[in-house]
Chain A
Amino acid sequence: MELFVAGLSHKTAPIGVREQLAVEEDKLREVIGAIHAEGIFSELMILSTCNRVEVYGVAEVPGEARALAFRHLCRQRGADPASLEPLVYTKSETEAVQHCFRVASSLDSMILGEPQILGQLKEAFALARSCQTVGPVLHAVMTRAFAVAKKVRTETGVARHAVSVSFAAIELARKIFGSLDGKAVLLIGTGKMGELAAKHLVEQGAFPIYVTNRTWSAAQELARAMAGTAVPFEEHLATLAQVDIVISSTGAPEPIVRREDVQRALHARRSRPLFFIDIAVPRDVEPAVNDLENVFCYDIDDLRQVVEANIRERLREAQKAEALVEREVGKWAARLQDLEVVPTIVSLREKLETIRQGEVARALSRIPDAPPETRAAIEALSQSIVNKILHVPIVKLRESSRSGHGRRVTELVSDLFGLSRNGNPEGDDE
């Protein structure tokens, strides 16, 4: 039995190919059922997102299982399995585990550190479980992968910093104000991006929200949608004294907030910080506003620059995350090696011990009046024979696991001694 993963992702296949394989959840249930019914997979799970389609499986002959799975997946939209072949990667055993950990930790994602993939992997796992195609191997690998992903998220900054302009603006606001709870926001103009940024602020607890626009009805409409207050456009400068964050996205050809306007508002503010997010082009807020004490003004280019810096920061953190995953894979492999040979050693011991006890009992029943010393001597003799016989095989088993041949040797030993697969002695002795 071998664990493997086979699939294609944004790194190996263009969207045109990925979309031919993507399967929605209802269909996926059928596909999993159909593949599993063929009896080649002993365990099976399929992850299907817009960026990757991957088959996680445990099978006797991975190559055959993989071909079968992709035949079924291709059948959905009539893709040609042969044309996919060069795009599909296959990893087995430790490499498969490593791949799974990296995917769960979002290190293999298109946007490094994006949080959705972990949820998608969890859903895929839940679906496979409800189809009853998850066995001990996938269960162990996946639960470990979820734990590793959590560790990567908390111990490294790979998902820490915003990689979209509107979230970068929110993050800047948090660097200035700490908590955004109860921070007042003025939204100037009704542009989509401004609205989006304002919504993020509201999610973070910002309140109240003032909306202003040259067209009064548009201001009122947006104010209603955001549960805010509409302010007449002529009064927006007066509002500066009361708000903490200003988002501006009008189509005005000239700046509508000038340095003098802000300076006037500052007296009433008692040097509470004021943050301008200017996403309009041409700019709505005069850049010189940034020179005023306790005032911060970011235009769209500044925000893009923050995003770029954040991406670089994520890349730096990704190195730490890769090292962490590497360590976890190492731990996994070490534990797996032990798991591989220990049951065989135990059942081999048990088997010989049962034989020994049976034979000793039979021998002693033939000499009922044997003195205790004789009984003890027979007992000791039998034990030492068994131990001597077992010594070399046990040493060899341990060595084989360390050199990576554990599976082959345990199978051989199980065959030779008639041990069952799950580790228990098979049948009675004689």
Chain B
Amino acid sequence: MSASLFYLALLGYLAATALALTYLIQRHEGIYRFAALATQAGWILHTLSLVVRGVELSRPPLGTFQEAISVLVWAAVLLELWSERQFGVKVLSAFVLPVAFIFGLSTVTLPEGIRDLNPALRSAWVSVHVILALIGIAAFVLNFAGALMYLLQERQLKSKRQGTFYYRLPSLETLDRMTSRTLTLGFPFLTLGLILGIVWAGSIWGTVLRWDPLVLFSFLAWVVYAATLSGRAVAGWRGRRAAYFAILGFMALLLTLGAGLFLPGRHGGL
């Protein structure tokens, strides 16, 4: 039941992705309305699938890595719907939904069960650790999209060639504000999530640090984001430099998720 709901949600996201990309090129308000509808429909189906799965398993749907990524997609789409209104950037979905859809698709293409969480890790504390980290990462998906849009628009303005992106993308100021806001939103969540993870690891294994690729990459991402945040606050970084760092941080997060899915470590046993 929860699986078929999730497939329907993915279908909604796929339709929304296609429509959002069409809107980016065509800029037809009717297409935008359909894209927004498809996104909302997909998100509602996704919510239902998570609830049903939680009821079916009688535990929060955070027990496997696939489940965690599904929740991540859910949070990212919710944030996307919110920021689209908050910053008035209608083309945002064209940059966020493809990422969300690919993430969502990755969870169903992987065989079920191989990434079950170590039963020792099933506790409320671990759920909180996962939720905090996922909210942080969802904000960084938006951060990445904002940075990418910034770099595209900046290129258009610098090269003085007015193409599709010049007309479709909002001002550099708006994009920089969006990148900055999503960074300040995501960073505390990521930080708290990591701290909880460290504390929990210390209490259960007695050691905090051990060779674990996921932990390594997530700390790398944290360092990049911490550097960007202090650069923005102290040295007045903005624009292109901040955007490059946002993309670097997101690459580290991708490696983190990839490590969780494919490499052995404390987060999932092979």
**Which residues in A have some Cβ–Cβ distance to B below 8 Å?**
155, 157, 161, 172, 174-179, 270-273, 290, 293-294, 296, 298, 302, 305-306, 309-310, 313, 320
Contacts and interface: CB of A to CB of B under 8 A. Distances in A.
Contacts of A302: 160
A176 B236 contact: no
B237 A271 contact: yes
18 contacts: A174-B171, A175-B157, A175-B171, A175-B172, A176-B171, A177-B171, A177-B172, A178-B171, A271-B237, A273-B172, A293-B239, A293-B240, A296-B157, A296-B158, A309-B162, A309-B166, A310-B162, A313-B162
B264 interface: no
Contacts of A161: 167
A157 B27 contact: yes
A313 B166 CA distance: 11
A212 B167 CA distance: 33
Nearest to B237: A271
Contacts of B167: 157, 161, 313
A309 B158 CA distance: 15
A293 B244 CA distance: 13
B241 interface: yes
Contact of A273 (B162, B239, B241): B239
From A161, A176, A305, residue with most partner B Cβ within 10 Å: A176
A178 B240 CA distance: 16
Contacts, number: 58
B85 interface: no
Contacts of B173: 176-179, 273
Interface in B63-90: none
Interface in B161-214: 162, 166-167, 170-174, 177
- Of all A-B residue pairs in the complex, the 10 with the closest CB atoms, nearest first, are A270-B236, A178-B173, A309-B162, A178-B171, A302-B160, A178-B174, A175-B171, A294-B239, A177-B173, A176-B172
B170 A178 contact: yes
Contacts of A305: 160, 162
B238 interface: yes
B35 to A, nearest CB: 16
A309 B157 CA distance: 13
B153 interface: yes
Nearest to A155: B29
B137 to A, nearest CB: 27
Interface residue tally of chain B, by bracket? 20 to 34
A176 B160 contact: no
A355 B190 CA distance: 86
Contact of B241 (A155, A293, A298): A293
Contacts of B166: 175, 309
From B28, B158, B167, B237, residue with most partner A Cβ within 10 Å: B167
Nearest to B235: A270
Contacts of A157: 27, 167
A15 to B, nearest CB: 32
A109 B42 CA distance: 44
B18 to A, nearest CB: 20
Contacts of B28: 320
B236 A306 contact: no
A297 to B, nearest CB: 9
A177 B176 CA distance: 10
B240 A306 contact: no
A293 B242 CA distance: 12
A155 B172 CA distance: 24
A176 B240 contact: no
Contact of A176 (B157, B177, B238): B157
Contacts of B171: 174-178
A150 B162 CA distance: 27
Interface in B222-236: 235-236
Given A175-B153, A270-B236, A271-B237, A290 B158 contact: yes
Interface in B13-54: 27-29
A413 B111 CA distance: 76
Nearest to A157: B27
Nearest to B174: A178
A265 to B, nearest CB: 14
A271 B238 contact: yes
Nearest to B156: A175
B157 A271 contact: no
A271 B160 contact: no
A278 to B, nearest CB: 12
B240 A172 contact: no
A52 B173 CA distance: 42
A107 to B, nearest CB: 17
B189 to A, nearest CB: 27
B250 to A, nearest CB: 21
A187 to B, nearest CB: 22
Contacts of B170: 178
Contacts of A175: 153, 157, 166, 171-172
Nearest to B172: A176
Given A172-B157, A174-B171, 20 more contacts: A155-B29, A175-B153, A175-B157, A176-B157, A176-B172, A178-B170, A179-B173, A271-B236, A271-B239, A271-B241, A272-B238, A273-B172, A273-B173, A273-B239, A294-B238, A305-B160, A305-B162, A306-B162, A309-B162, A313-B162
A179 B27 CA distance: 22
Contacts of A298: 160
